[in-house]
Structure 1
Amino acid sequence: MTTSPAIRAAVVADLPALQRVFRAASLSNAGEAPMLLARPEFLVFAGDGIADGRTLVAVAGAPQDRIVGFATVTTGPELEDLFVDPDWHRRGVARQLVGRVAETARAQGHRRLWVTGNPHALAFYLAVGFVQVDQVATELGVPGLRMSLDLTGGHP
């Protein structure tokens, strides 16, 4: 039986594991992998948000020692990063991370959580309660889906 990962704030020592998850998750979408490999600067996770407590990690294993996903939030609040190790896809990790981010934003008095997601993540975001409000250009040249989650009602 697999237990749910624990969610905690990231620490600087987590950076190599976050970089591993970021790269693996980014390349797991076969449709975007060639484009990303051609632009390796987009496969680098710098860790902005760790030192100031804006990055959460999902940690699994005994004793909770393997980072299997992470989320970074900016002011607004904006869900800037949401990445899950491909070996942990479809196990509720992303839903758990979004839930924690939404809970924190709600407790801080925010009424909405924003994200710009890629098209292959649309079904997930809709499933956790986001609503698409716009389509925007991204640095990679692929469409970004601008979405919003209402934090005034229930929870994602």
Structure 2
Amino acid sequence: MAVISTRVANDRDLELLRDLYRRSSLSNAGDRANLLASSEALHWTGAGIAGGRTRVATDEGGRILGFATVVSIDGGLELEDLFVDPDAMRQGVATRLMLEAVTQAAREGEPWIEVTANPHAAEFYASAGFVRVAEEQTLFGPAPRLRRDVASPD
């Protein structure tokens, strides 16, 4: 497995992240038709970049492999984005980004991270310690609302 590093995203990353978001989103055959029928669903705004809340995962050469955005919500954090380049999927990129988010949440004293998950990603989120707490209605139908408690750093 390649060495994966993370860093805070910056404005220069915006177009690369938008492209990665689109390719990653469309890589799931079960979602493709709905996404293509709803063009606004394929436009990533990049709002988390300005606030320093988007982190990218890179390989040893600096190529961006994926990104995650975590934002504050009432009582905890929301995992707003978690996308991996289709060519880098199943290589530990999402796991690395998730561990980074949990570590940062613990440093900030946040008690939990929640996500409204794509049902296709349920297995990944379960492996990352998330449990179902509710169901949300999304543009494309119901989706599980998941939570991972964050332990305080020692």
* Paired AA for residue 2 in structure 2: T
Aligned residues: 150
- Identify which of 73, 76, 96 aligns with 2:70: 73
Contact 1:4 1:93 in 2 (8 A): no
What is the distance in 2 between the residues matched to 1:141 and 1:40? 13
CA contact (8 A) 1:118 1:143 kept: no
Alignment correspondent of 1:13 = 12
AA at the equivalent of 2:66? G
* Distance apart, 1:145 and its partner CA: 1.0
Q: Identity of aligned pairs, percent?
A: 45
Q: Name the residue aligned to 1:96.
A: 96
In the TM superposition, residue 153 of structure 1 has moved relative to its aligned partner by 7.2
Equivalent residues in 2 for 1:1-156 (5 A)? 2-62=1-61, 64=62, 66-75=63-72, 76-138=76-138, 140-152=139-151
The CA deviation string for residues 20-61 of structure 1, in whole angstroms up to 9 with x for no partner, is 110011001101101100111110011101011000001114
Q: Determine helix, strand or coil for the equivalent of 1:124.
A: helix
The answer (yes or no) to whether the contact 2:71–2:78 under 8 Å persists in 1 is: yes
Q: CA RMSD in A?
A: 1.3
Q: 1:30 to 1:128 in 2, by over 3 A?
A: same
CA distance in 1, matches of 2:115, 2:42: 19
Unaligned runs of 5+ in 2: none
Structure 1 stretches of 4+ moved >6 Å: none
Give me the TM-score of the superposition, normalised by structure 1. Answer: 0.92
What's the CA shift for 1:112? 0.8
* In structure 1, C-alpha distance between the alignment counterparts of 2:77 and 2:9, rounded to whole Å: 18
Deviation at 1:135, TM superposition (A): 1.2
